[in-house]
Structure 1
Amino acid sequence: MRLNLLAPNRGKEDEHMTIYDYIVIGVYLVFMLSLGPIYKSFSKTASDFFRGGGGMLWWVVGSSAFMTTFSAWSFTGGAAKAYETGTYFLILFVCNIVALLFCFFLTAAKFRQMRVVTAVEGIRKRYGPVSEQVYTWLPLVFQTFMGGVMLYTISVFMSGVFGLPMGGIIVVMAVVVIVMTLLGGSWAATAGDFVQMLVVLTITISMALLTLKHEQIGGFGGLMRNVPDYHFEWTALARPWVIVAFAVTLMINQVTMMNSMLTGAARYLFVKDGKDARKAVLISIAGFLLLAPVWMIPAMGSAVIFPDLSGLEQFSQLNNANEAAYVAIAMELLPQGLLGLLVCGIFAASLTSMNSLLNVYSGTFVRNFYIRVINKEASELKQIFVGRVFILIYGLIWMLVALCFKDMKEIKLFDLILKATAMIGLPTAMPLTYGMFFKKTPEWAGWGTMVGGFIMAAIAKFGFTHEWMQGIWGQEAALSKYELADLNLALTTGSIFIVCNIIYFASMLFHKNVKPEYSERVEAFFEELNTPIDRSKDHEPDYESDKRQYSVLGNLCLAYGLLTLLLLAVPNEMRDRLLILACGGFVVLVGVILRAASLKTKRTV
């Protein structure tokens, strides 16, 4: 039973979702909560809890890295941008692929070869203890904002689309994330991402196929003919020079972020060696090459079927009705039960990012502050305990920040996320990317560059207003809303990039005054960075857990796939049941393959 306005051909009552959809969502949340207890026994040491002991399967880590990037924002703010601008949105995916290629060829192996439990431990090796504390606390403070944004993103969307209370969604999501990460640590946060990727993969492909089969779309050729012209003619949205400025600065931002010792390294510390780190990058590249174009089809198709989402009453509570583009077309196309699965996919995309961040920053707090400053003799179990306490407190802070956000209006999620990334992420990441390639800098080059970038970001925030930008070009060359948004992002990113470059490379003038012990530490860091890992020497004797990983993941996939197949009992048409069979059957097949792999894998002791 869905909205007649959205699905007039179904002749069903005026209701958002059926009881079957709500059951699917409830079962999914219970399933995610169960990952914490399931993976609790995997963590015997702090290294296990915070980074899987450096022994995770590369394709699991690669799946987690991709899902962290492919967040719930993709189904909300990203979908709104694709709905409004069509293929123009592909600029972001192209930038991500280029950034990942840099990572594959230049940095992924180096990240793992830092031989650390947390990324900030690598920063300590490169820039010293002062930078270690700066990079422990400043990003920690700013990530309280980003964590709140992610919770807000999913809550405002679910509240506006499905009529659910926003505050309730925030609380439920926060509880699931906290419990799952608190108990299972990196294992639950990372290995669980693989199962969630299957959820997103199946529902995204299903949505794309159903969109192309819709009578108003008429296949891929029909989609290209029926979407607005500006979905392919980018110059109808912005002047060429604005497009170029936006693309270049976005490329700079993504390459820097994905190749820094903080955000980039955190993803690849979990694998066994540098070769596995590079293979993990290939999963993300494949994800963007294959899944991203498929993901765009429903968002663009929604522009054909629902050309004016703002005119639909059920989306009136959303600050930006276009952020409902994905679910609007899902309500039109998906059978009973699978609409709930789409909601689970959106939840999954949110959970992956939040789980990973909670795990990373709990590890940073424990390894780079607690055992450095408070209790230098803390045992492995004590470190795990403190990490769990941190996860609880930090997760609750995210929840409070999101509850504050819920009362704000006129926020566009696409612009909010990209601007936050540029203003916070870029100054943080630049010295950590350069630090892997340039030796001759003083200790303060890392935190000094970051602080200078933050100052420039504050100037950009209050100085680069739309009125100011419009005044430069004059009213006779009025900029559109898309041009103003893209130009603002380009100017913000470009100015921060220039200031950070000036500070970082100017700092090299002071290298001759550095202390000898600092130079020795930097030389040792670079030697280690470029030395491949010898598994027989760089790991504990029992670090191999491949057999157990295959077995547990296989069981999880089988359980989730079989639960999905139970939807075959829901009263649907044969076509809809075949779709459910395909989605559930695919996850079951993956589970069978993993179980077979576990039987062939020898247990190493």
Structure 2
Amino acid sequence: MAFSFIDYIVIIVYLVGVAFLGLRTSGKQTSNKDYFLGGEGMPWWAVLFSIVATETSTLTFISIPAVAYAGNLTFLQITVGYVVGRVGVALFFLPKYFEGELLTAYTFLERRFGAGMRNAASTTFMITRLLADGVRLFATAIPLAIILRLGGAFTGMDDLQLYIISIAVITGITLIYTFFGGIKAVVWMDFVQMIVYIGGAVIAIFVLWNNLPENFSLPDQKLQVINLGFDLSFEEFIKQPYTLITAIIGGAVFSLASHGTDHLLVQRVLATGSLRSGQKAMIWSGIVVMLQFGLFLGIGLLLFMFYEGVSANTLGLATTDEIFAKFIVEQLPVGISGLIVAALFAAAMSSLSSSLNSLASSTTYDLYKPYFGKGNTDTEDLAISRKITLGWGMILSVSAIFFAFLQLQGGERPAIVELGLGIASYTYGGLLGAFLLGMLFEKPDKKDAMIGFFTGLIALLFMVQGPVQNMLPGNGLAIAWPLYTLLGSLVVVITGLVSSKLRYFKHE
């Protein structure tokens, strides 16, 4: 089967419907509070689904099946840590946010350490989102690029050109309702689009299950869930991301940082308007995410059986991440392919719209208002916020094209979900460390926080495989991505405390 005219019609109708429904659910926007926080509060269950839709996006739909196809089920160990981390956020972080009216996650840092620390954290958030969401947007372009390639209308273009067209289409549609509708449109469309893409995944499982080859069985090692890793040397142990201890501890600390300090997700919880509602949304999101990861890893195993375990190159693909997209556009019945590709767009747009709104919110409140917009009216602020949203849409498109270029180069490439999580984990260490330093200790001041924050970011450069690691003599100490946040935050806290102690002794 091939992608048909009917499938294209399904996708076009879906995209137009999303833009229309997003505008209808947004309500009237008269101020930045309406635009970024949804006015008087939103239902916790809607925010719960918005959190899940935002953080999983197309990376889950496309790349998690690829992780299972190329490996096994040990990625599930990380989801246990995710649940533990969210419980910590709900009990210790959210009460701090709801003590006063905090418009962004970084207002707490300003109150504790001053405007300089807030600006540093907010800027780091923006850089993280720029890179991590560039990866997500690139991931979304994979199925659309395959559709364009198989459709035959763009046969004269290479892969990069197809990705550029795909990225432009996705960004343009998402910007329509995000630009006008604000956070209310984002949350409600996240809810709708999560239902769509989970439904698409269930349909794919049904079709796969009924078309598995009879002469191929799944190897036992593909079903491995727990990997203790005790047979490895210390250096090898800390390099492996999916051993039990690394996955649970690393996943918990990563979740503390992502859901406790990243404004992309904190903004969702603040939109509930109350602490109890925010806590319910936060904790339940961890459980739903665990189930969702299990669903998409299962798809990966079924794909492995369907294609009898052959490599991506043998299937004519540029990367393993394209395997599920290939199945969708080539093997599903007419109309169903279009529906599931629409589900992919749903996953993508839910994440992209959330990123655009949170980036605009942080830019407006943390960088623009304190310095350039103190005397603005609500109307002027709203107009500026929309312009900032549009600007971030263009910037994220460029970031996605950059990662498309990198991922299409020769050589061994990581699954894009690992690339995206690794980028986020790197900067989350500094953010989480700064928050913990301010929440748990009274003596460190803004100088100690700034010293610790930037020391943590720099220290990780020497522990992550990359250009700095390659310049070191001998074999450097490289660590797995789930440990980036843990070690980064520890360096920030310890450095901040040491700096505080040294200043205390100096004044004695």
Relative to the length of structure 1, the TM-score reads 0.72
Q: Aligned letter for 1:369?
A: L
**Post-superposition offset of 1:161:** 6.2
**Structure 1 pair 104–169 and aligned structure 2 pair: CA distance change class (3 A):** same
Q: Aligned letter for 1:279?
A: K
Contact 2:429/2:489 (8 A) holds in 1: yes
**Structure 1 pair 261–463 and aligned structure 2 pair: CA distance change class (3 A):** closer
Q: Can you list the C-alpha shifts for 1:378-424, whole angstroms capped at 9, x where unaligned?
A: 11111110000001112111112222333222442133112202222
1:418 aligns with 2:413: no
Residue 281 of structure 1 aligns with which residue? 282
Query: Which of 188, 191, 194 pairs up with 1:194?
Result: 191
Of 385-394 and 146-155, deviating more is: 146-155
Q: Distance between the aligned counterparts of 2:226 and 2:301, measured in 1?
A: 14
**Structure 1 pair 424–264 and aligned structure 2 pair: CA distance change class (3 A):** same
1:5-16 equivalence runs, <5 A: 15=2
Residue 449 of structure 1 aligns with which residue? 452
1:462 aligns with 2:459: no
1:77-226 equivalence runs, <5 A: 77-160=63-146, 163=149, 165-216=162-213, 226=218
Q: Aligned letter for 2:451?
A: G
1:301 aligns with 2:299: no
**Post-superposition offset of 1:314:** 4.3
**Structure 1 pair 511–383 and aligned structure 2 pair: CA distance change class (3 A):** farther
Q: Distance between the aligned counterparts of 2:9 and 2:360, measured in 1?
A: 33
Q: Distance between the aligned counterparts of 1:341 and 1:288, measured in 2?
A: 22
Q: Secondary structure at the match of 1:444?
A: helix
Contact 1:119/1:266 (8 A) holds in 2: yes
Q: Aligned letter for 1:229?
A: Q
Of 147-156 and 233-242, deviating more is: 233-242
Residue 581 of structure 1 aligns with which residue? none
Q: Distance between the aligned counterparts of 1:236 and 1:112, measured in 2?
A: 39
1:489 aligns with 2:481: yes
Q: Distance between the aligned counterparts of 2:432 and 2:171, measured in 1?
A: 27
**Post-superposition offset of 1:81:** 1.0
Q: Distance between the aligned counterparts of 2:94 and 2:200, measured in 1?
A: 30
Q: Can you list the C-alpha shifts for 1:36-70, whole angstroms capped at 9, x where unaligned?
A: 53245432221110111241111111111111111
Q: Aligned letter for 1:65?
A: I
Of 262-271 and 180-189, deviating more is: 262-271
Contact 2:81/2:250 (8 A) holds in 1: no
**Structure 1 pair 42–286 and aligned structure 2 pair: CA distance change class (3 A):** farther
Q: Secondary structure at the match of 2:440?
A: coil
Query: Which of 333, 336, 341 pairs up with 2:334?
Result: 336
**Post-superposition offset of 1:177:** 2.1
Q: Distance between the aligned counterparts of 1:200 and 1:430, measured in 2?
A: 35
Residue 15 of structure 2 aligns with which residue? 29
**Structure 1 pair 264–94 and aligned structure 2 pair: CA distance change class (3 A):** same
**Structure 1 pair 458–335 and aligned structure 2 pair: CA distance change class (3 A):** same
**Structure 1 pair 510–117 and aligned structure 2 pair: CA distance change class (3 A):** farther
Relative to the length of structure 2, the TM-score reads 0.84
Q: Distance between the aligned counterparts of 2:207 and 2:95, measured in 1?
A: 40
Residue 159 of structure 2 aligns with which residue? none
Q: Distance between the aligned counterparts of 2:198 and 2:102, measured in 1?
A: 32
Q: Secondary structure at the match of 1:71?
A: helix
**Structure 1 pair 192–254 and aligned structure 2 pair: CA distance change class (3 A):** same
Q: Aligned letter for 2:367?
A: F
Contact 1:20/1:336 (8 A) holds in 2: yes
Q: Secondary structure at the match of 1:68?
A: helix
Q: Distance between the aligned counterparts of 2:147 and 2:398, measured in 1?
A: 22
Residue 47 of structure 1 aligns with which residue? 33
1:249 aligns with 2:250: yes
Query: Which of 396, 401, 405 pairs up with 1:398?
Result: 396
Q: Secondary structure at the match of 2:103?
A: coil
**Post-superposition offset of 1:238:** 9.4
**Structure 1 pair 468–68 and aligned structure 2 pair: CA distance change class (3 A):** farther
Percent of paired sites with the same residue:
19
Residue 438 of structure 1 aligns with which residue? 441
Contact 2:428/2:485 (8 A) holds in 1: no
Tell me the C-alpha RMSD between the 2 structures.
Answer: 3.1
**Structure 1 pair 472–48 and aligned structure 2 pair: CA distance change class (3 A):** closer
**Structure 1 pair 498–433 and aligned structure 2 pair: CA distance change class (3 A):** closer
Contact 2:254/2:486 (8 A) holds in 1: no
Residue 492 of structure 2 aligns with which residue? 500
Q: Distance between the aligned counterparts of 1:230 and 1:237, measured in 2?
A: 16
Q: Can you list the C-alpha shifts for 1:459-494, whole angstroms capped at 9, x where unaligned?
A: 33334459989x589xxxxxxxxxx8xx54366555
Q: Secondary structure at the match of 1:291?
A: helix
**Structure 1 pair 255–68 and aligned structure 2 pair: CA distance change class (3 A):** same
Contact 1:42/1:187 (8 A) holds in 2: no
**Post-superposition offset of 1:235:** 5.6
**Structure 1 pair 339–117 and aligned structure 2 pair: CA distance change class (3 A):** same
Contact 2:65/2:300 (8 A) holds in 1: yes
Aligned length: 477
Q: Distance between the aligned counterparts of 2:367 and 2:252, measured in 1?
A: 33
Contact 1:142/1:424 (8 A) holds in 2: yes
**Structure 1 pair 369–311 and aligned structure 2 pair: CA distance change class (3 A):** closer
Q: Distance between the aligned counterparts of 1:256 and 1:392, measured in 2?
A: 27
Of 281-290 and 242-251, deviating more is: 242-251
Q: Distance between the aligned counterparts of 2:214 and 2:74, measured in 1?
A: 20
Q: Distance between the aligned counterparts of 1:31 and 1:439, measured in 2?
A: 52
**Post-superposition offset of 1:376:** 0.8
Q: Can you list the C-alpha shifts for 1:330-359, whole angstroms capped at 9, x where unaligned?
A: 457633212222212221222122211211
**Post-superposition offset of 1:447:** 3.4
Which one has a bigger Cα radius of gyration?
1
Structure number with higher relative contact order (C-alpha < 8 Å, ≥ 6 residues apart): 2
Query: Which of 214, 229, 242 pairs up with 2:221?
Result: 229
1:509 aligns with 2:495: no
**Structure 1 pair 291–333 and aligned structure 2 pair: CA distance change class (3 A):** farther
